[in-house]
Structure formats: structure tokens, C-alpha cells
Amino acid sequence: MNYLGRLVTNVRGFYSEINSATLTGAIDVVVIRQEDGSFVASPFHVRFGKLGV
């Protein structure tokens, strides 16, 4: 049982050290078909910050 308690404590400590600002955002890829049939893609990345707006 002591092992489980230490595991929970370690996970809690690891999670509390994570910067919450890095956990919010979106990464999408926009793909556009050109007139010649080829595709062009560009990454789209938005980071919302600490508030998670």
C-alpha cells in the first residue's frame, strides 16, 4: 500500500510542476487543393495561454 501512496505523491508532484500554459492550444493543418490538382498544406497553431480562453 505504501507503494501506491508514493506513486500518487510522485504523479501529483509531477503534474504540479507542469506549466498549465503549455496544455492549452490547438494544432491544425489546413490543406488546399490547387487548380492543377496538387495540394498545399500549412500548419496552423494557436496558443491560448494560462487562462485557457
pLDDT at 31: 87
Tens digit of pLDDT for each residue in 8-53?
A: 777 777 666 666 666 666 677 788 899 999 999 887 766 665 555 4
DSSP one-letter string for 1-53: -HHHHHHHHHHHHHHHHS-GGGG--EEEEEEEE-TTS-EEEEEEEE---TT--
pLDDT at 3: 74
Q: Where exactly are the structural domains of the chain?
A: 1-43
- The answer to whether 40 and 31 have CB atoms below 8 angstroms apart is yes
Share above pLDDT 90 across residues of the chain, in percent, rounded to a whole number? 13
